[in-house]
Structure 1
Amino acid sequence: MKNVEQITKGEGYTAINMGPLDSVGEYSLIHPKLNTEIFGKLFLKDVTGATGTEISFNTLPPHTEIPYFHRHRDNEETYIILRGSGDFQIDDDCFPVCEGSVVRVAPAPSRGMRNSSDKPMIYMVIQSKENSLGNYSTEDGSRTEWNPKWK
């Protein structure tokens, strides 16, 4: 199993390097409910110290599918297809997805996906509590004084 490289960490931030997208398939984890090793999956919450989202990078080998359909109690998921193509199913609705497709799924619907292509599918999933986003515009931010060290 490949390990994530921590670039730096300070009060209120963590920076990591997970490597190029092609290396996502080198990560694995023991699935807590299936008690089997899942290859091509990297969760970022713990390694970054995130408190409001879980982000994962995932790989589906050619002509395979996520081995189970699932739903959530509290969290919605947003799937972003970075490479490859296939089919996504939400309850009884099945539709094609490809590089650039973005699919948001509320907690309750059952979801699954397959890679129907001859190349690995790489996608990321952002998971957060449904209806938890408050100020989500530029109004939430404020400008600060800064002195970029890269200059």
Structure 2
Amino acid sequence: MEIEKILKITSNLPLSKGVVVNLIYTACIVNKELNIVLKPYGISLQQFNVLRILRGQKGNSVTLATIQERMIAKMSNTTRLVDKLKKKGYVQKELNKENKRKIDITITREGLELLDKIDTLINSAEKKIISSLTDYEAYDLIRLLEKIRLIAD
């Protein structure tokens, strides 16, 4: 359905506004679908992203700056996200041995177990989200989104 009908806009949007509104609206739908999967586990999409970043370190610790750099949503308050995950027992924090102003963060066994439970559900949700696209369309969409992101460089 056209975005104008969905949002009950009576006039045609200029092309640039139509593209941006469609992107934002679709991103909200994707976030909603993924958050539905995560809600029973008591974590947000941003917290899930932090856990996946930490899992990717294969037991090595990273600093808050490294996590922030690798976050999908760059405006997230990484310190707050990590503190919430620490309270839940999914991460641990320690002072960096070389630089006492930095904090080293690692994922705990509980955090890894949580990701093991969630991974299959997230993978299924992601497949459902793009189920109306052919493989060719999915690759084309990735290509087009990458092209739009060039403005960030």
Report the TM-score, using the length of structure 2 for normalisation. Answer: 0.26
Greater helix fraction, Structure 1 or Structure 2: 2
Larger Rg: 2
| Higher fraction of strand | 1
